[in-house]
Amino acid sequence: MPSELPPADPAFGWRWDPSYARLPEGFHRRVAPTPVSAPRWGLFNRPLAESLGLRAESLDQPGHAEYFTGNRLFAGSEPIAQAYAGHQFGNLTRLGDGRAILLGEHLDPATRRWDIQLKGPGLTPYSRGGDGRAALGPMLREYLISEAMHALGIPTTRSLAVALTGEPVFREETLPGAVLTRVAASHLRVGTFELFSALGDVQALKTLADYALRRHFPERADGPHPGKALLEAVVERQSALVAQWMRVGFVHGVVNTDNVAVSGETLDYGPCAFLDAYDPSTVFSSIDRQGRYAFGNQPKITSWNLARFAEALLPILAPDEAGAIEVAQACLESFPARFRRDWLAAYRGKLGLVTEEDGDAGLIEELLAWMHATEADFTRTFRRLRPDAAPEATVATDSAAPDTRFLDWHRRWTHRLERQGLPLPRVLDAMSRHNPVIIPRNHAVQAALDAASQRQDWAPFHALLTALQTPYREDGAPESLSQPPPPGTPRCRTFCGT
Ligand code: AMP
Ligand code: MG
């Protein structure tokens, strides 16, 4: 990866430096966005543009909707669609960017490399039966939730802009079309490796592994075993990522291997949502009938996805097959213990624990079991826990009196905190950094998306987006976002027909 900054384009500050496009044929195809009839301005993320070293004030002009639908290309952009495959609900399928186009890679002032991708800009060679388009509602959802995840401190792709196409898209109903501009450390997926593995192209696998190591794990790129180094690095990143999802109650919804980023960023916000009441079997996606991607199943399915990654890498893990299987197995077997450590670290933080005791996992699990049994609100229960207040004041089922099970748990927790000996303000500080006040509550998200996409009323969307920028702050948190949904609110269903 070259680390010298190319000159910035004087108009907008882009520093294009395509590296993926330089990989051999078979990795991508040159493609142009399909112009739309009436580009209109939707959203622009100024703070993100500034952090990327772009000329935010020049970009943030309604007249520039043309660039963010793909009607006009930024000077220096050489768009491509990327090839990949993926296990979708367990079945390997040949895919590729069917409705996404990579405009290029931009180097920020710190020489960090970012993919700049349009999502929804029209047909590509990989569109299969699709239309290459996206509807406004789902693109707003991705914008909102990805920015919320970022503010929560969770690795994620970012959203730079949403532009409207002025054209309808046809799903179960006719919807306004839109294009999202996504910013990612890369769009390399587990499925990218699966493509070349399925094709039996070992040279391409080597090229890709070397590329991924140099791009995301340069400190591991020059060792003697690049395949193993990459596998280990991705196992570590995925473990850390999913532990963070579990910390905030995030359900991705479609963790197919084509949606698992090698960088360790949360990728592809489709039928995703956050837990209200704690229930590990929660599924929001209307197509996930088996609960494959249920909240509590995310660690297990991540382990399954990593096994697919290891399989794809087998030809480059060791010189001989037996050796390769040994490397793959050792690495995969490390996942459960590693995840347990990451998960425990996250949940110890939620309970204000900075030391480690053997009984901690049990303490956490008992609280979760009580929350499950009482249908306690996940976010609010953790946020309201206080070791210095009477347990009655902390239970989250605001109406119900705490039962003996909770009182007993609370006593054990406060004893555990006493043994740790950390001053109360520091305990509370740790807790407030691990337990958000505000999450993108499903009913609020839906109301904001409906207002914007059905009634052109953007006020609720902007209010929600603003509130989600400071998720750990108690002051100013709108009640509607820190409270569970009103009784009788039907459980949110999100659709994959995005
Ligand atoms: P997703 O479920 O969004 O991760 O998409 C899975 C695959 O289907 C990817 O290869 C997408 O590019 C492709 N895809 C999804 N929607 C469309 C569409 N409307 N047109 C073409 N391809 C699509
Ligand atoms: Mg996808």
For the segment 118-176, what is each residue's pLDDT rounded down to a tens digit? 999 999 999 999 999 999 999 999 999 999 999 999 999 999 999 999 999 999 999 99
Q: What is the pLDDT of residue 401?
A: 65
Phi/psi at 422 (5° precision): -80, 135
Q: What is the pLDDT of residue 495?
A: 59
**Among candidate residues 49, 66, 47, the one with its CA nearest the CA of residue 14:** 49
Q: What is the pLDDT of residue 478?
A: 79
Contact 240, 263 (CB under 8 A): no
How many angstroms separate the CA atoms of 217 and 194, rounded? 20
- Mean pLDDT (whole number) for 264-289: 95
Where does the pLDDT of residue 488 fall: very low under 50, low under 70, confident under 90, or very high at 90 and above?
confident
Phi/psi at 87 (5° precision): -85, 110
Q: Using CA atoms in the order 302, 306, 308, 312, what is the torsion angle rounded to 10 degrees?
A: 150
Distance 132 CA to ligand 1 centre (A): 8
The ligand 1 atom at the shortest distance from the C-alpha of residue 88 is 6
Q: Is the pLDDT of residue 91 over 90?
A: yes
Distance 431 CA to ligand 1 centre (A): 39
Q: What is the pLDDT of residue 477?
A: 78
Q: What is the pLDDT of residue 479?
A: 78
In the chain, where the domains are located: 20-187, 191-343
Mutate to test the pocket of ligand 1, among 31, 82, 92, 99 (most ligand atoms within 8 A of CB): 99
Over the stretch 298-329, which tens digit does the pLDDT of each residue have?
999 999 999 999 999 999 999 999 999 999 99
Q: What is the pLDDT of residue 395?
A: 64
Q: Is the pLDDT of residue 295 over 70?
A: yes
Q: Is the pLDDT of residue 496 over 50?
A: no
Q: Is the pLDDT of residue 216 over 50?
A: yes
Q: What is the pLDDT of residue 79?
A: 98
Cα 334 from chain centroid? Answer: 23
Ligand nearest 271 Cα, by number?
1
- Mean pLDDT (whole number) for 454-478: 93
Whether this model's pTM surpasses 0.85? yes
What average pLDDT is seen over the chain? 95
Distance 97 CA to ligand 1 centre (A): 7
- Mean pLDDT (whole number) for 282-296: 94
Q: Is the pLDDT of residue 116 over 80?
A: yes
Q: Is the pLDDT of residue 475 over 90?
A: no
How many angstroms separate the CA atoms of 96 and 105, rounded? 18
Give me the amino acid identity at 68: F
Catalytic residues: 258
How many angstroms separate the CA atoms of 395 and 454, rounded? 38
Q: What is the pLDDT of residue 400?
A: 56
Where does the pLDDT of residue 492 fall: very low under 50, low under 70, confident under 90, or very high at 90 and above?
confident
Helix (H) or strand (E) run with residue 323 in it? helix 321-350
Q: What is the pLDDT of residue 391?
A: 79
Q: Is the pLDDT of residue 33 over 50?
A: yes
The ligand 1 atom at the shortest distance from the C-alpha of residue 95 is 10
Distance 354 CA to ligand 1 centre (A): 43
Going from the C-alpha of 193 to that of each of 21, 196, 236, 309, the distances in angstroms are: 16, 6, 18, 7
Distance 259 CA to ligand 2 centre (A): 5
- Mean pLDDT (whole number) for 455-482: 91
Q: Is the pLDDT of residue 397 over 60?
A: no
The ligand 1 atom at the shortest distance from the C-alpha of residue 100 is 12
Pocket of ligand 1 (CB under 6 A): 95-100, 127, 130-133, 254, 258-259, 268, 270
Where does the pLDDT of residue 396 fall: very low under 50, low under 70, confident under 90, or very high at 90 and above?
low
- Mean pLDDT (whole number) for 280-305: 96
Q: Is the pLDDT of residue 416 over 80?
A: yes
Flag the least confident range among 75-89, 184-198, 409-423, 476-490: 476-490
Ligand nearest 495 Cα, by number?
1
Neighbours of 442 (CB within 10 A): 20
How many angstroms separate the CA atoms of 338 and 240, rounded? 9
Q: Is the pLDDT of residue 46 over 50?
A: yes
Q: What is the pLDDT of residue 188?
A: 98
Q: What is the pLDDT of residue 491?
A: 75
> Residues near 468 by Cβ (< 8 Å), separated by ≥ 6?
144, 147, 148, 151, 438, 440, 481
Q: Is the pLDDT of residue 103 over 80?
A: yes
